[in-house]
Chains A and B, each alone.
Chain A
Amino acid sequence: MAGLELLSDQGYRLDGRKATELRKLQARMGVFTQADGSAYLEQGNTKALAVVYGPHEMRGSRSRTLHDRAVINCQYSMATFSTAERKRRPHGDRKSTEMSLHLKQTFEAAVMTQLYPRSQIDIYVKVRVGLTLHLVRGIIAEIDFFVIVHKHVSIVFQQILQSDGGNYSVCVNAATLAVIDAGIPMRDYVCACTVGFVDETPLADLCYAEENGGVSSLALALLPRGGQIALLQMDARLHQDHLETLIEAAMTACKGVSKVLDEVVRQHLQEASVLTGE
C-alpha cells in the first residue's frame, strides 16, 4: 500500500480514532432566518450548511409538477475555499450534479411527499473547508457570504463549507436537520455515514486523508428506526464477501449519528419553546 498506514497495529487510525469511532459531530438548527428551515453541521472538519425552502408552489417550469406528491429539488455546492486548494467550482459541474441527484433520491425516500401534492421543496446544501472558526462565528461569517451571493444568484446553498471527507453523508445529516427545522414531516431521520475497508476492518466515518488513501469506501443513508436503506453508493472495488460486514458497520455508524441528531433536535426544541415562552 502506498504511503500512509491507515490503521496501526494497535488499531488506531491516522487521527487517533479507533476503527468504529465517528468524528466529533456538532450541529445547530435554525441558523438562517429567511429560510423555512436551516441547519449547520460539523462532522470533524467537514462543515455544511443546509437550507430548506418550502413546501411552496411550483416555480419555473410547471410541467414538472407531480399531482400526487411534492417535488424535491436539491442543490449541492462547494465553497471555493472549501478544500485545501482554492479552486473555482462552477455551478453544475458533474460532481455536484451527481451529488445533488443523490441527495434528491435520499430525501424522496424519507420525506412524506404525498402530503404536499403539486408543490415543491428546495434543499440547498453548501460544504466548506476552511479554517476552524467557532461554531457561531463561523455561521455568521458564512451567512454574510451567502447573502452577498444570494443577491446575484437566485438559488444557492445546501453548502459544504469545509470538506474533510464524507461530503455526501454530512450533507444528508445537515439537510435532515434543516428539513426537521422546516417542519416537514419525514418518515424518520435520514442519517448517512461513509465507511471504508482497510486491512479487513471497516473504518467508520472516513476523513479526507483516508478517503484518498486508496480505501474502497461506501456511503450509506439509513432510516435508522426501520433499518431501511435510503441510498447506498459505492464506486470502488470490493469483494462481495466483505460487502455485508461493510454495510453492517455503516448501519451501526448511522445509528450513532442518529442519536446525536436526535439530541440536537430535542435541544433545539427545548430552546425554542423557552424562547416562545411555552
Chain B
Amino acid sequence: MLKSKTFVKKTRSGGVMKVVREHYLRDDIWCGSEVCTECKQESTVLQKDACMESSLCSYPHYLVPDTNVVLHQVVKSDIKFLQTIEYDTFIEREPGESANDRNDRAIRVAVKWYSQHLKTFESDTDGLKVVLLTNDQGNKQKAQDNGLLVYKCEEYVKSLIANPELVDRLALSSDDKNEITSSKVLFPEHLPLSRIQTGIKSSSFLQGTFRASRDNYLEATVFVQGEGEDSTEVLIQGLQNLNRAVHQDVVAVQLLPRSEWVAPSSVVLQDEGTAKDDEDAEEEEGKVTAVEAARKPTGKVVGIIKRNWRPFCGMLNVSQIKESTRHLFTPADRRIPRIRIETRQASTLSGQRIMVAIDGWPKDSRYPNGHFVRSLGGAGEKDTEEEVLLLEHDVPHQAFSQAVLSFLPKMPWAITPEDMMKREDLRPLTVCSVDPPGCTDIDDALHCRELENGNLEVGVHIADVSHFIRPGNALDKEAANRGTTVYLCGKRIDMVPELLSSNLCSLRSNVDRLAFSCIWEINHKAEILKTRFTKSVINSKASLTYAEAQMRIDDTNKNDDITKSLRGLNKLAKILKRQRIEKGALTLSSLEVRFHMDSETHDPIDLQTKELMETNSMVEEFMLLANISVAQKIYDEFSECALLRKHPAPPPSNYDILIKAAKSKVKIHTDSAKALADSLDAAKVDGFPYFNTLLRILATRCMMQAVYFCSGMDSDFHHYGLASPIYTHFTSPIRRYADIIVHRLLAVAIGADTTYPDLMDKHKQSALCNNLNYRHKMSQYAQRASVAFHTQLFFKSRGILNEEGFVLFVRKNAIIVLIPKFGLEGTVFFDSKDKVSPNIVFEEEGPTLSVEQHKFHIFDKVKVTISLDDSNIQHQKIRMALIEPVIPGVSVPAPDTERPAKKQKLDH
C-alpha cells in the first residue's frame, strides 16, 4: 500500500517548502515466529519454546522491550526486536502527538498485532503470549488500557525464577536513584548540550578528550585537538573541577583565569576512601607553589559531550555493613573512578575479577552508579588475569566465528594447477627459514645462491597470506579488526585462524607452500643490481632456529647447500648493516625477557634476557631490505594509496633527559640520527661495560612511535630509526594486517591480482591505518602487562632476591632501578606513609636526588632487594628496597635469600 508523507520544511534561505515523499507499506515482513504458518518466512528467529521461567508469566512468551529499556540495560539476549514498517502496524501520527508518544504507540500497536497474530495459531502455540516491557509509566498505563500484557522491566526481571542474579545486572533506573545518595550536592551541574555548543563556537569552552592521571585521582588532562597540527593540553585539578568526567570521555572545559593556573603535581595520590567517605571527600590538596614556567593552562569541566563508558574490569570492595547490597567496585585501571554497584552476591564475588558497567553519575553522588555485568574468575589466577589483561587492552580474543571459519580453505589442501600457472616454481631452490625457537607461524624464508656471472641471487620469500584471505569477506574483516597477533607469555592471540597461521601459510620445511618472493641480484659489495617481485611456490629445506643457523655458519666442517647459502647471506648482511649504520640508522636497545615455562603448569620457572646472535641481525637485515624495496615499488605504482610506515624524528626536547644524564661522562649529539648514532657508539666508560646499553635504553625512551599511514594523506615519509626515506611492512603477513594490504598492493602492481575499491580509497586506508596503529599500541601494552604479570608470578615462587641494578631515572621522591639480569624495572620510594620521610632534595638540573647524605645520579649502581608486594590483590607489584649504598634509616639490611628448594628441582 502506498502512502505519501508530506511535511513542510524550512529552507536555508528562509523559505518554506513542502516535501512529498512516498512511503511504501509492505505486507511481506514476516512475524519470524516458528509457530506461525501463515507467514512465508525465510528464517525463523523466534523459537517455539522461547521460555524463561518467570513467576509473573507462567506461560511461554515473547518479550517486546521498549527502546528506553534496551538503551539502559544490558539484559539477556533472549529478547527479540521487531521491525515495524509493516502494513498492519503502520500508524499515522496524530495531530499534536509528539514523536516520542508516537513511537510508544507504535510499539503498543505492534504488540497488539503480534498477540492477535499468534492467537490465530492457538492450537500449536501452547498459549504463547507477547509481553511488553517498558519503563515508562504512561506507556504502561495506556498499554494496560488496551488490554496488553505489560510489565516494568524491573518487575519482570525480578520474577525470573531461573536467574536471580540477573537482578544485579539491571541498571539503576532514575526513579530509585534518589534513595542511594545523600541530599548533598557534590558536583556542579553539567551544562546542557546547546550551551556547550554555543560556548565552543564562541571559543569560551574547549572540547577535548578527558584523560585521567594514572597516579593522582584528583588530576587529569584534557587533550584539545587544535586546528591542523597544534593541540593543547588543559590541566584539571580537584574533584569539583573534574566534575564527574571519566577517562576517555569527550568533555567541554572552561579555562580558569591565568592567576589560578597550577603546575601538575608529581605526587602519587590514590583514592583510598571507603564507601562512607561521601562527606569527607574534600581532601584538599596542598597547592604546590610552582615556578611560573611550570604552570600549565588549567581549567574545569563544564559539561560532557560524549561519554565513552565501556564495561570495566576490576574487583569488589565488599561493604563492611553486613546485608548491605551496595558495594564499591574498584576498576583495575587506576584512571577509572570507583563505581557503586548493587548486588546480592557480594560474598561470592569478593575475591573475583568482575566486569561492571557504569549507568550514570548523579551530581549528589561521590561515585558513579553501575551494575554488575559478569564475573571473570578468581583474582590472581592465571587465566583470569590474562582475560583481564586482554579486556583492559581492548584486544579482540574471542574464538573465530563460524562465518569467519567458513572462508578457510577446505582440507586437505593442495596446490592446484591453476595456482601453479600464475606462479613461479621456486621449489628447487635451497630455501630455509630462521626463527626463534618454538615458532609455528613462520612467515619468512631466505635463499642465496651464486649466479653464473659471479653475482649473488638473494631471495626473501614471504608467506602468501593474501592468497587465502580475500578482500571483503568475513575472514578479512576479522583480521583487519584484530590488526595484529598478540604475543603474551606462553600464549598467542592469533590474527588469523590457526589453520592458516600455523599450517597453510606457515613456511614449514619440506612442504610446498605459496609465497610472495622478492628476489635481488646483488654483487659481492652488496650493491643491488636488480630487484623483482613474484608470486611463487617454494619448498623450504630446513626450519632453523637462530642458534642452529649460527652453529651451521660457525661449523667449518659443514659445507652443504643450506650452510653455504647461510654463509652467503650472513656475509651480505654484515655489509648491508654497515652501510645502513653509515647512513645513520640507530641501533637501540631494550631489554626483552624470555620466560622458561613449566610444561605442565605453564608457570614461569626461569627468566632470561633474550640473547641476540649474528643470525638475528642477518634475518633482520634482509627483512629491512625487502620492506624498503617493496615500499618503493608500491609507492611508485600507487602514490596516493600506498600503505607505508614512518617514524617521525623526535622533537629535540625529548633528548634533554639523555643529554643531562650522560653529561658527566660523555657528550651526546642529537642534531641528527647520524650524530646520535655516532655518539652512542663512541660512548664508552672504562670499567662500566653496561653503560653503553643503558644509554641506548634511555635513547629508546626518547623516540616517537612509528606509525602506519596512507601515502596520499601525508607528505613526510621518513623513517628516523632506520634512516630510510621510505619504509613499509611486508614481511609478516601472518601476524600483521598491514602486511596483507601491502601484499595486495604489490600483487596489483606486478599484475598478479586484481584491485578492489577499498584498496584504492585513501580515506578508507587511512581509517584502517588508525585502527592498526591503535591495535599495535594496545598489543604492545598488553605484552608488557603480560610480562609484568609473569615477572610477579616468578618472584612469587622465588621469594626475596638481592640483585644489582642501575638507576635509570630519578624522580622527586623515588629512583627507578633497572635490573639487567631480569630486564626488570622497579621503583624505590624514599617516602612512605608509615615512616618519617628522610631528607630528600631533588635537583632538576642533573637530575639528581639527595637522600640524607647520599646523592643519586642516573646510571649509579645500586643493590636492591626484590620481593612481591601482594597487599593489594588487584595491583600486585614488585617492591624494591635499597640495600646499597647504605643510608641509615632508608636502606634495608640485606635479607637472607635462600633459594627455595622447589626451584632446584625444576631448573634442569
In the complex, the chain B residue whose C-beta lies closest to that of A84 is: B17
**A63 to B537 CA separation, bound complex (whole angstroms):** 69
Pair count A-B, CB < 8 A: 49
Mask, B5-26, CB within 8 Å of A = 1, is: 0000001000101111111111
Do A15 and B24 touch across chains, with their CB atoms under 8 A apart? yes
Do A207 and B760 touch across chains, with their CB atoms under 8 A apart? no
Q: Does A235 contact B (CB under 8 A)?
A: no
Return chain B residues, CB-CB under 8 Å to A129. Answer: 20
In the complex, the chain B residue whose C-beta lies closest to that of A21 is: B24
Q: Does A16 contact B (CB under 8 A)?
A: yes
Min CB–CB distance A160 → chain B (angstroms): 15
Q: Does B2 contact A (CB under 8 A)?
A: yes
Do A10 and B22 touch across chains, with their CB atoms under 8 A apart? no
Do A24 and B2 touch across chains, with their CB atoms under 8 A apart? yes
Q: Range of interface residues on chain A?
A: 20 to 34
**A114 to B25 CA separation, bound complex (whole angstroms):** 47
A241 and B24 in contact (CB under 8 A), knowing A10-B83, A12-B85, A84-B19? Answer: no
Min CB–CB distance B98 → chain A (angstroms): 22
Do B757 and A242 touch across chains, with their CB atoms under 8 A apart? yes
Do B21 and A209 touch across chains, with their CB atoms under 8 A apart? yes
Return chain B residues, CB-CB under 8 Å to A164. Answer: 20-22
Q: Does B202 contact A (CB under 8 A)?
A: no
**A266 to B85 CA separation, bound complex (whole angstroms):** 35
Q: Does B755 contact A (CB under 8 A)?
A: yes
Known: A16-B23, A241-B757. 18 other contacts (CB 8 A): A10-B83, A12-B26, A15-B21, A15-B24, A17-B24, A21-B24, A24-B2, A24-B24, A44-B22, A45-B4, A84-B20, A131-B20, A132-B20, A164-B21, A207-B21, A239-B757, A241-B754, A241-B756
In the complex, the chain B residue whose C-beta lies closest to that of A162 is: B20
Choice from A45, A85, A241 contacting B22 with Cβ under 8 Å: A45
Min CB–CB distance A118 → chain B (angstroms): 45
Chief secondary structure at chain A's binding surface: loop
Q: 8 Å CB contacts to A: which residues of B1-60?
A: 2, 4, 11, 15, 17-26
Choice from B15, B22, B25, B26 contacting A207 with Cβ under 8 Å: B22
In the complex, the chain A residue whose C-beta lies closest to that of B5 is: A15
Min CB–CB distance A194 → chain B (angstroms): 15
Mask, A6-19, CB within 8 Å of B = 1, is: 00001010111100
Choice from B11, B21, B24, B757 contacting A85 with Cβ under 8 Å: B11
List 9 A-B pairs, minimum CB-CB distance, nearest first.
A239-B757, A16-B24, A84-B17, A15-B22, A16-B85, A44-B22, A17-B24, A85-B17, A15-B24
Return chain B residues, CB-CB under 8 Å to A15. Answer: 21-24
Q: Does A69 contact B (CB under 8 A)?
A: no
In the complex, the chain B residue whose C-beta lies closest to that of A208 is: B21
Min CB–CB distance A252 → chain B (angstroms): 19
Return chain B residues, CB-CB under 8 Å to A209. Answer: 21
Q: Range of interface residues on chain B?
A: 20 to 34
Do A132 and B4 touch across chains, with their CB atoms under 8 A apart? yes
**A129 to B4 CA separation, bound complex (whole angstroms):** 14
Choice from B20, B26, B755 contacting A45 with Cβ under 8 Å: B20
**What are 15 pairs between A and B in contact, CB < 8 Å?**
A12-B26, A16-B23, A16-B24, A16-B85, A44-B22, A45-B21, A84-B19, A84-B20, A85-B11, A85-B17, A164-B22, A207-B21, A239-B756, A239-B760, A241-B755
**A24 to B4 CA separation, bound complex (whole angstroms):** 12
In the complex, the chain A residue whose C-beta lies closest to that of B755 is: A241
Chain A residues at the B interface, C-beta cutoff of 8 Å: 10, 12, 14-17, 21, 23-24, 44-45, 84-85, 129, 131-132, 164, 207, 209, 239, 241-242
Mask, B794-836, CB within 8 Å of A = 1, is: 0000000000000000000000000000000000000000000
Return chain B residues, CB-CB under 8 Å to A84. Answer: 17-20
Return chain A residues, CB-CB under 8 Å to B2. Answer: 24
**A241 to B755 CA separation, bound complex (whole angstroms):** 8
**A15 to B21 CA separation, bound complex (whole angstroms):** 8
**A242 to B85 CA separation, bound complex (whole angstroms):** 30
Do B26 and A16 touch across chains, with their CB atoms under 8 A apart? yes
Q: Which of A14, A16, A85, A242 has the most chain B CB atoms inside 10 A of its CB?
A: A16
Return chain B residues, CB-CB under 8 Å to A16. Answer: 23-26, 85
**A10 to B22 CA separation, bound complex (whole angstroms):** 19
Return chain A residues, CB-CB under 8 Å to B20. Answer: 45, 84, 129, 131-132, 164
**A229 to B797 CA separation, bound complex (whole angstroms):** 79
In the complex, the chain B residue whose C-beta lies closest to that of A207 is: B22
In the complex, the chain A residue whose C-beta lies closest to that of B22 is: A15
**A239 to B17 CA separation, bound complex (whole angstroms):** 36
Return chain B residues, CB-CB under 8 Å to A45. Answer: 4, 20-22
In the complex, the chain A residue whose C-beta lies closest to that of B1 is: A16
Min CB–CB distance B679 → chain A (angstroms): 51
In the complex, the chain A residue whose C-beta lies closest to that of B11 is: A85
**A209 to B760 CA separation, bound complex (whole angstroms):** 28
Min CB–CB distance A14 → chain B (angstroms): 8
**A85 to B21 CA separation, bound complex (whole angstroms):** 14
Return chain A residues, CB-CB under 8 Å to B757. Answer: 239, 241-242
Min CB–CB distance A195 → chain B (angstroms): 17
**A84 to B757 CA separation, bound complex (whole angstroms):** 36
Return chain B residues, CB-CB under 8 Å to A24. Answer: 2, 22, 24
Return chain B residues, CB-CB under 8 Å to A131. Answer: 20
Return chain A residues, CB-CB under 8 Å to B22. Answer: 15, 23-24, 44-45, 164, 207
Min CB–CB distance A260 → chain B (angstroms): 16
Min CB–CB distance A226 → chain B (angstroms): 30
**A113 to B157 CA separation, bound complex (whole angstroms):** 76
Q: 8 Å CB contacts to A: which residues of B366-412?
A: none
Return chain B residues, CB-CB under 8 Å to A12. Answer: 26, 85
In the complex, the chain A residue whose C-beta lies closest to that of B761 is: A239
Mask, B741-767, CB within 8 Å of A = 1, is: 000000000000011110010000000
Mask, B437-449, CB within 8 Å of A = 1, is: 0000000000000
Return chain A residues, CB-CB under 8 Å to B4. Answer: 45, 132
**A24 to B3 CA separation, bound complex (whole angstroms):** 12
Return chain A residues, CB-CB under 8 Å to B24. Answer: 15-17, 21, 24
**A238 to B238 CA separation, bound complex (whole angstroms):** 53
Return chain A residues, CB-CB under 8 Å to B25. Answer: 16
Min CB–CB distance A45 → chain B (angstroms): 6
Return chain B residues, CB-CB under 8 Å to A242. Answer: 757
Min CB–CB distance A63 → chain B (angstroms): 45
Do A85 and B756 touch across chains, with their CB atoms under 8 A apart? no
Min CB–CB distance B46 → chain A (angstroms): 15
Return chain A residues, CB-CB under 8 Å to B85. Answer: 12, 16
**A209 to B5 CA separation, bound complex (whole angstroms):** 13
Min CB–CB distance B571 → chain A (angstroms): 46
In the complex, the chain B residue whose C-beta lies closest to that of A17 is: B24
Mask, B717-734, CB within 8 Å of A = 1, is: 000000000000000000
Return chain A residues, CB-CB under 8 Å to B83. Answer: 10
Min CB–CB distance A44 → chain B (angstroms): 5
Return chain B residues, CB-CB under 8 Å to A21. Answer: 24
Min CB–CB distance B804 → chain A (angstroms): 61
Return chain A residues, CB-CB under 8 Å to B19. Answer: 84
**A118 to B812 CA separation, bound complex (whole angstroms):** 100
In the complex, the chain A residue whose C-beta lies closest to that of B3 is: A16
